[in-house]
Structure 1
Amino acid sequence: MSVPSYAATILVLGDSLSAGYGMSEEQGWVQLLRDELPQHQIINGSVSGETTAGGLRRLPSLLASSQPDLVIIELGGNDGLRGFPPNKLKSNLTKIISLSQQHGTKVLLTEIMVPPNYGPRYAKSFTQIYHQLSEEYSIKLIPFFMQDIAADKALMQRDGIHPNEQAQPIITQWMLPWINQVISE
């Protein structure tokens, strides 16, 4: 995979999984990504507890201030944990993708899954939204980076929800090829 010679501005629009919840910002995967891609400016617009509605509200000012070449959308987990209706999730993500693309920005969407105790019907309809939007908007969908991490207690914080410091390099390496591919297109 070739890495572009130009410096891209990358905006990560996420929740606690990208904000580095429970650790210093320097230990989170977004900072580790900065270390891997020093030629690019990587802006972490992630906020712990963020929903898709909150991300949508903050997006216009983030787009205006950072002028990103790429927006990585890692949102939806808190919508799912709060049991929000899937159609609301889809509506908000659709608006986030559309706003980003209208701004001339490439988009990478990260798949989000809810825990199985939310029931198979809800979990399936929730995850399908990410696949539908990926197809509908012709954007790359990154498979859920927490799937293998969440199954390994050694990579999770005590709350059982958030990845710990040891998981951060794994997330960085998971994201890196997707980011390089989209930036070099």
Structure 2
Amino acid sequence: MVGKIRRVLLMAALLCASASAYSASKTLLVLGDSLSAEYGLARGSGWVAQLEKRLKAENPDVRVVNASISGDTTSGGRTRLPALLEKHKPDVMVLELGANDALRGLPVASTEDNLRAMISAAKGIHARVLLVGMQIPPNYGPDYTRQFAAVFKKLATEQKVPLVPFFLERLVERPELFQSDRLHPTADAQPLLLDTVWPRLQPLLVK
């Protein structure tokens, strides 16, 4: 009888441990454009793939889903996001969109509205959001350039989410880290992109 009780208690302990491990697992969704979709790079060499490798070494309970598409805009991301949230139910979302809006000269107000909607949707399922900011060259006009850059800071403050102020901050003074189109970072630049995001992303993964 004593042996049977011990086996029951052991089984219960194992089930509790299994449930605890499952509840500790997290899903990280990256919603971005070509900067996160390995444009012009070998598969598995982009910053998101490098992030996944780092997490496997440091926090193997985190599953990374890279839903980035080259050429995507905030409008495209907003359209795709509901299905992604339903399918993956992320605990954390990295929102890296907006650059293509600026390259196309789309209204800043539309970009802001789309980003706000995506942040709200993710928060609606209790996902923590990291907003990745972007800046554009001054040749787009000083007013547009200034207004576009200000959107990210405004939304981070308004929505109370952490912000990477400028995703390409570590690359702008190093033209050799860009591909021939002068827009997309090279393979050598990917660790720098990861190091730019990591300090603000890592705290969201341990909560």
The TM-score by the shorter chain falls in which range?
Answer: over 0.9
Deviates more, 1:112-121 or 1:73-82: 112-121
TM-score (norm 1): 0.94
Equivalences, count:
181
Query: For 1:26, what is the secondary structure of its paired residue?
Result: coil
Unaligned residue ranges in structure 1 (runs of 5+):
none
Residue equivalent to 2:109: 87
What secondary structure sits across from 1:18 in the alignment? coil
Residue 176 of structure 2, aligned match among 120, 137, 154? 154
Which of 15, 20, 36 is 2:33 aligned to? 15
Alignment of 1:66-145 (within 5 A): 66-145=88-167
Query: What is the deviation of 1:183?
Result: 2.0
> Structure 1: which 4+ aligned runs deviate by more than 2 Å?
none
Q: Which residue of 2 aligns with 1:29?
A: 47
CA deviation after TM superposition for structure 1 residue 150, in Å: 3.0
- The aligned amino acid for 2:180 is R
Shift of 1:181: 1.2
Match of 1:42 in 2: 64
Deviation for aligned residue 1:154: 1.6
Q: CA RMSD in A?
A: 1.2
Matched to 2:55, the amino acid is: L
The answer to whether the Cα contact below 8 Å between 1:150 and 1:161 also exists between their aligned partners in 2 is no
Q: What stretches of structure 2 of length at least 5 have no aligned partner?
A: 1-22
Q: Secondary structure at the match of 2:183?
A: coil
Distance 1:134 1:143 in 2: 10
Q: Does the CA contact (< 8 Å) of 1:18 and 1:30 recur in 2?
A: yes
Q: Identity rate of aligned residues, in percent?
A: 40
Paired with 2:166 and 2:43, the residues of 1 have a C-alpha distance of 21
Displacement after TM superposition at 1:79 (Å): 0.2
Alpha carbons 1:17, 1:163 under 8 Å: kept: yes
Distance 1:110 1:135 in 2: 13
Q: Distance in 2 between matches of 1:101 and 1:151?
A: 35
Q: Deviations over 1:52-108 (max 9, x none)?
A: 000000001111111100010000000000000110001100110111111111100
What is the deviation of 1:49? 0.2
Please tell me the residue identity of whatever aligns with 2:174: D
Counterpart AA for 1:172: L
Match of 1:60 in 2: 82
CA distance in 2: counterparts of 1:69 and 1:49, whole angstroms: 25
SS in 2 for 1:157: coil
